[in-house]
């Protein structure tokens, strides 16, 4: 991916990985527009990064997506990079009755949100000389964390959707990438200070290096054990992985 001269729209750009990517791309001179539901996070990010723009967006609501897409196309006609990053992660219980208050928002935000966001912008992106869609999935798309089964399922679905999207857009001006992070020190599940998670800046630095290559899957070194476990013998590692993360950090 070309890392300069872009107009970039990032969902969930007010915190965590989204903010990290936004700031890294902003520092390279790209025009960056971030979005999110929380005004305070957006305002803080914009204040810290002069020239960055923001727009309120809730990707769980189709009307919000439609309105923001219309505004983006009108205000930023050179928009050529979409990063579908917004997501929520909540604990659930796949061994019992799954709470609708967890199930519905997670699927709406993590799966329907990026599909709808891309759908709203894809015709515009196709008109650009060179455009990129980056779908943020997770290492947990490949080796799920059992206590967040719905979250992991939405990320696995995004991996599948990305493969189809990339195939359908071959030969067009739009490149489709998948960014699958490992556990990173962000606000998701209170992991910001967990020593078992990858420091955010380290993740951003390694990710930016990989984005500059021709890779279609952006995989930092720390996520490869999860990505590469898929297959007929994946059960043993999955059990070991979940047992280990169920323990408290020391």
Show contacts of 212-215: CB within 8 Å, 24+ apart.
212/1, 212/3, 215/177
Distance (Å, whole) CA 148 – CA 94: 8
Q: Cβ distance 132 to 81 under 8 Å?
A: yes
Neighbours of 203 (CB within 10 A): 24
The torsion angles phi and psi of 81, rounded to 5 degrees, stand at -135, 125
151 assigned to active site: yes
Order of strands, sheet of 7-11, starting from the edge strand that comes earlier in the sequence: 53-56, 31-36, 7-11, 81-84, 131-136, 174-179, 217-218
Q: What share of the chain is helix, strand, coil (3-state, %, to 5)?
A: 50, 15, 35
Q: Which residues are catalytic?
A: 151
């Amino acid at each position: 991916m070309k890392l300069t001269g872009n107009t970039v729209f990032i969902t969930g750009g007010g915190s965590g990985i989204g903010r990290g990517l936004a700031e890294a791309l902003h520092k390279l001179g790209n025009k960056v527009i971030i979005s999110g539901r929380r005004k305070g996070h957006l305002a803080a990010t914009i204040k810290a990064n002069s020239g960055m723009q923001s727009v309120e967006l809730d990707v769980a609501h189709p009307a919000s997506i439609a309105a923001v897409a219309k505004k983006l196309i009108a205000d930023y006609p050179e928009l050529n990079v979409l990063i579908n990053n917004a997501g929520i992660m909540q604990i659930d219980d796949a061994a019992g009755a799954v709470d609708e208050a967890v199930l519905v928002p997670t699927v709406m935000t993590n799966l329907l949100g990026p599909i709808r966001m891309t759908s709203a912008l894809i015709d515009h992106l196709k008109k650009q000389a060179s455009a990129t869609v980056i779908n943020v999935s997770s290492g947990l798309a490949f080796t799920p964390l059992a206590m967040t089964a719905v979250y992991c399922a939405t990320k696995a679905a995004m991996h599948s959707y990305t493969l189809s999207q990339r195939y359908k857009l071959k030969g067009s001006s739009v490149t489709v990438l998948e960014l699958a992070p490992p556990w990173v020190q962000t606000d998701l599940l209170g992991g910001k200070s967990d020593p078992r998670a990858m420091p955010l800046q380290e993740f951003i630095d390694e990710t930016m290096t990989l984005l500059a290559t021709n890779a279609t899957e952006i995989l930092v070194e720390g996520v490869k054990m999860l990505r590469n476990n898929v297959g007929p013998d994946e059960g043993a590692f999955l059990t070991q992985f979940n047992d280990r993360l169920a323990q408290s950090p020391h």
